[in-house]
Amino acid sequence: MFHAGKPRRIVLAALAAASIGAWQTAGAVGTAANTTVSNQSTVSYSVGGVAQTPIESSPTGNSTPGGGAPTTFVVDNRIDLTVTELSGGNTPVTPGQLNQVTAFTVTNTGNSPQGYQLTPTNLAGGAVFGNTDDTDVANLRVFVDSNGNSTYDAGVDTATAIDTLAADAGVVVFIVADVPATATNGQFANVQLSARAAVPGTNGATLATETAGADTPGAVDIVFGDAGRDATEVAADQYAVSSAALTVTKTSAVVEDPFNGTTNPKATPGAFVEYAVAISNTGASPATGLQINDPLPANTTFRTGAYNGGASDVSITVGAGSPSFCVAEAGSDANGDGCSRTASDLVVGAPALTTVAIGAGNAVTVRFQVTIN
């Protein structure tokens, strides 16, 4: 029996949707966007010491036992991403090289599949890997690794945007560029990859926009959760120019004349004059495929048999080593030793002369003689 004024005992039992620690997600991306979160409270109570039928909750209010409805909302789309340089070091290149590659990883750290617009740029100034930018590369392009081998495959990796990337997944992206022929040894070209979140399935063409205003419980709102709250992340990489740096010095000396012989000879008609072409390399890379083209001066005649006891026409010395020799026959290089001459030019190339290596002691000196007419 119910007595007026007697306290009623009400026991409230709520069914929680998540534990206290649910704010810290267990996975890298948290609960997937568009996941429905649903729960319903049940109120148990007594009247006059008699237990009554429990009443379930409803979003619109419920007073009928056994009725009610769950209260639900959907998880919103938290857009987050990272862009990281892949190799951990710069890309060595040489002047004039085409299609040189730097690589990055774009990772979707949000909670929904996402697309990305990709933009490569030259960085002006600034330091990457401790090296200050002082040149630019040309013809910058960006491509997505299509077969997952982390290697740029021309003709295979052709996508220029990330159409759809699953949550908690990453993909390698390449910047491909050409190195100007004017780049010099020791220069650095810093580049940057920018990834901007886009609507998945649009191939990066439709950029994602953040939802304004209050949360809409029944709809998937978009929230930018990246560091800058702009759905854009960047990373830098670097091309390091490594090249030969040649210094070419040409001197001449009279070595013999018809009157003084080899003692204090003078540049009189009939005298022998020796030219010495010295090539040194202070760069970071060997100079290969070397060839000297030397127009024979007017009023002179090329002297054959000047070296190697009269058997050779040209002397080639590397550093302080012993010389090697070749025969500069008129016309084509019939004996294939790398030396020949036309009526007006001396040519010295491979195999007699092929490489000027770097480092001390690797300078190359080519000598030949002419007779003054």
Interval 135-180: pLDDT, tens: 999 999 999 999 999 999 999 999 999 999 999 999 999 999 999 9
pLDDT at 28: 54
Mean pLDDT along residues 278-290:
90
Task: Decide if 327 is inside a domain.
Answer: yes
Task: Decide if 3 is inside a domain.
Answer: no
Q: Is the predicted pLDDT of residue 261 greater than 70, yes or no?
A: yes
Range of the domain at 278: 246-372
Task: Decide if 17 is inside a domain.
Answer: yes
Claim to verify: residue 174 and residue 221 sit in the same structural domain = yes
- Contact between 103 and 144 (Cβ < 8 Å): no
Mean pLDDT along residues 13-17:
33
Task: Decide if 288 is inside a domain.
Answer: yes
Query: What's this model's pTM, rounded to 2 decimal places?
Result: 0.75
Claim to verify: residue 196 and residue 335 sit in the same structural domain = no
Claim to verify: residue 47 and residue 169 sit in the same structural domain = no
Claim to verify: residue 283 and residue 236 sit in the same structural domain = no
Mean pLDDT along residues 274-285:
92
Percent of the chain with pLDDT over 70: 92
Task: Decide if 4 is inside a domain.
Answer: no
Claim to verify: residue 68 and residue 149 sit in the same structural domain = no
Task: Decide if 1 is inside a domain.
Answer: no
Domain count, the chain: 3
- Residue 364's domain is classified under what CATH number? 2.60.40
Which of the pair, 20 or 201, is modelled with greater confidence? 201
Q: Which of 241, 274, 296 is at the close of a domain?
A: 241
Mean pLDDT along residues 10-34:
46
Span 286-295, pLDDT tens digits: 899 999 999 9
Task: Decide if 354 is inside a domain.
Answer: yes
- Residue 218's domain is classified under what CATH number? 2.60.40.10
Q: Is the predicted pLDDT of residue 23 greater than 90, yes or no?
A: no
Q: Which of 241, 262, 292 is at the close of a domain?
A: 241
pLDDT at 30: 87
Span 213-230, pLDDT tens digits: 999 888 999 999 999 999
Claim to verify: residue 268 and residue 354 sit in the same structural domain = yes
Claim to verify: residue 53 and residue 84 sit in the same structural domain = no
Pick the closest to residue 132 from 83, 186, 89 (CA basis): 186
Task: Decide if 5 is inside a domain.
Answer: no
Give the C-alpha separation, 10 to 278, whole Å: 103
Mean pLDDT along residues 4-29:
35
**Residue 370 — φ and ψ, nearest 5°?**
-130, 160
